[in-house]
Chains A and B, each alone.
Chain A
Amino acid sequence: MTTGWPKYLLITLALAFLGANIALPLAAVFVEAFAKGWDAYVEGIIEPDALAAVRLTLLVAAIAVPFNIVFGLAASWAITKFDFRGKAVLITMIDLPFSVSPVVSGLIYVLLFGLQGWFGESLRDAGVQIIFAVPGIVLATVFVTFPFVARELIPLMQEQGRDEEEAARSLGAGGWTVFRRVTLPNIKWGLLYGVLLCNARAMGEFGAVSVVSGHIRGLTNTMPLHVEILYNEYNFVAAFAVASLLAGLALVTLLVKSLLEWRFADTIAGSGH
């Protein structure tokens, strides 16, 4: 029980910390982006290399996110609907990418597919380029976002148990029908929650993608990489303009995430990430 001024002091302290640590950086992005007015802002965004970066970012997310949805559904189905040994180990391994430095996440693919990598020569002979090309960027993005959907669904489906699926089976429903008519409606909001976070990370990943991309303007630059290049060229307005798009994406993600948490708190596992 805390009443009176100590409570307000603590609230003030917490808000001051959040203001300096969270709100100010967020505000800085937009203020810097509009530092030279609307025209300069728009120019930074509609410039061809910037648009190419947007397109590449969307393409990468459009591949990585669906892959991780399929993986997340398969993994959580296998883990929560069946009993087998080594389950805990499997869950830990799925979480592994979270504890690997983004730079190392990129490096591992360079070691495999880079020119001096294990498969480097055979790939070159076959005329396939993975590192410093789009496939490498997709691979690195899939790696860093690998656990997002699965780790949202596993606790949720664990809690929901198997009774409903088993009841549907006993009533004669086929496997696919059980999944589509019974499981999916129960987990749809949790799934959306996981997809949301997965997508935010996929579009925003920097370290891993930076290692495998090669930074070729207009070709292998994603939006975060494009921000870095512009920033290092002291083109601050353009850098912050592109950054503001990513910040906007982050805000939309937070908004939808909060709405899901308020509206469907009971059908989202809500485990912190």
Chain B
Amino acid sequence: MTVETHDLVKRFGGFAALEGVTLQARPGEFLALLGPSGSGKTTLLRIMAGLDFPDSGRVTFDGVDMSDRPARERGIGFVFQHYALFRHMSVADNIAFGLTVRPRRDRPAASAIAARVKELLDLVQLPDLGKRYPAQLSGGQRQRVALARALAVEPRVLLLDEPFGALDAKVRKDLRRWLRAVHDASHVTSVFVTHDQEEALDLADRVVVMNKGRIEQVDTPDAVYNRPATAFVCDFLGNANRFECALRGGGVEIGGLTLPNAAPPAGDGRGQAFVRPHEFDIAAAGQPGIAATLRRVAHTGALAALECEVEGRIVEATSARPPEGLTPGDALTLVPTTVRAYPA
């Protein structure tokens, strides 16, 4: 199913959570809403779900206007950040809830509900835990139950609010793979909110990068990472070093070098340039490039991380083959291989 929002605006008191958000999630797509806290991503998800309502703008499902319909009439599945499991119900009762609250004429028979619950428990790989209560489960298990509960109603769209936010790193990674596998098997249009760029890039078909209630860029993980549309996206994704620069004739002037601009073309003038740590070559002092002083070298497996100082600020560079014999305090030159620059 196609989920679209049209020019959504939402304010909480004086705070503008959404300022004109238009977006489309394509059928069967796994879409990530990525942004820092306060960027409006959760508000957008809740408005799609019908848990919040916009001040203006519309939400459509397959072209049908859903804007005034409450959550229970939208046919969605929502996974809450802290799961919101019903703690007085067993796991099986939690999963069955959405089916048992249906009007009698639409409600499956008890045996059909039981079969569906069993099927879902198998899907989320918790076949023997139906009789347990939420309080008796681990965080990762609760997360799976919350997903099973949302899937039980066969939603037309699955919405997930920071689905891995409350889990530790190891569990997070396992569940990520597993969630992607579940999605690939079910083909339900899914939208999830995250502030973790690695999660968004790893999991999503397309990533929506949000900032201050606006969409900065919507594209594939590869495109948002390698061809960021705005300075914000470039800065937010990946751990980029920032420099002052000048933009002239499509080139970037930085550290005495003129390099091609890997970012979308911009007019002449002052700019800010971003260079990711692995996009430096390390050269001897005095070469053309950015003059730096080495502060520290950390060997993290295959790569060496160089912590350098440039005009009083720390710049990080990684290199597979750092020059031999460098010690802290030595002068060196950082030569950018790829630069993305945006008007300041």
Contacts and interface: CB of A to CB of B under 8 A. Distances in A.
Interface in A212-264: none
Contacts of B70: 1, 3
Contacts of A1: 51, 70-71
A1 B71 CA distance: 9
Interface string B60-73: 00000000001100
A273 B53 CA distance: 39
A3 B51 CA distance: 10
Nearest to B46: A1
Interface string B70-107: 11000000000000000000000000000000000000
Nearest to A1: B51
A1 B72 CA distance: 10
Q: Is the interface of B mostly helix, strand, loop or mixed?
A: loop
Interface residues of B, number: 4
A226 to B, nearest CB: 50
Interface string A1-35: 10100000000000000000000000000000000
A84 to B, nearest CB: 31
B237 to A, nearest CB: 34
A1 B70 CA distance: 9
Interface string B285-320: 000000000000000000000000000000000000
Contacts of A3: 53, 70
Contacts, number: 5
* Interface size grouping (class) on chain A: under 10
A1 B80 CA distance: 14
A1 B50 CA distance: 10
Nearest to A2: B70
B189 to A, nearest CB: 22
A42 B56 CA distance: 59
Nearest to B53: A3
Nearest to B71: A1
Interface in A29-87: none
A7 to B, nearest CB: 12
Contacts of B51: 1
A3 B53 CA distance: 10
B79 to A, nearest CB: 16
A3 B54 CA distance: 13
A3 B69 CA distance: 12
Contacts of B71: 1
A3 B68 CA distance: 11
A1 B46 CA distance: 12
Nearest to B51: A1
Contacts of B53: 3
Interface in A108-125: none
Nearest to B72: A1
Nearest to A4: B70
A176 B70 CA distance: 61
A3 B71 CA distance: 11
Nearest to B50: A1
Nearest to B49: A1
A1 B53 CA distance: 11
A242 to B, nearest CB: 46
A191 to B, nearest CB: 35
Interface in B41-59: 51, 53
A196 B51 CA distance: 42
A143 B51 CA distance: 52
A93 B112 CA distance: 54
A125 B320 CA distance: 103
A200 B219 CA distance: 65
Interface string A124-156: 000000000000000000000000000000000
B113 to A, nearest CB: 24
A267 B51 CA distance: 34
A3 B70 CA distance: 9
A5 to B, nearest CB: 13
B147 to A, nearest CB: 21
A1 B49 CA distance: 12
B77 to A, nearest CB: 16
B73 to A, nearest CB: 12
A262 B70 CA distance: 34
Interface in B105-123: none
B51 to A, nearest CB: 6
B97 to A, nearest CB: 16
Interface of B: 51, 53, 70-71
> Closest 5 interchain pairs by CB?
A1-B51, A1-B71, A3-B53, A3-B70, A1-B70
5 contacts: A1-B51, A1-B70, A1-B71, A3-B53, A3-B70
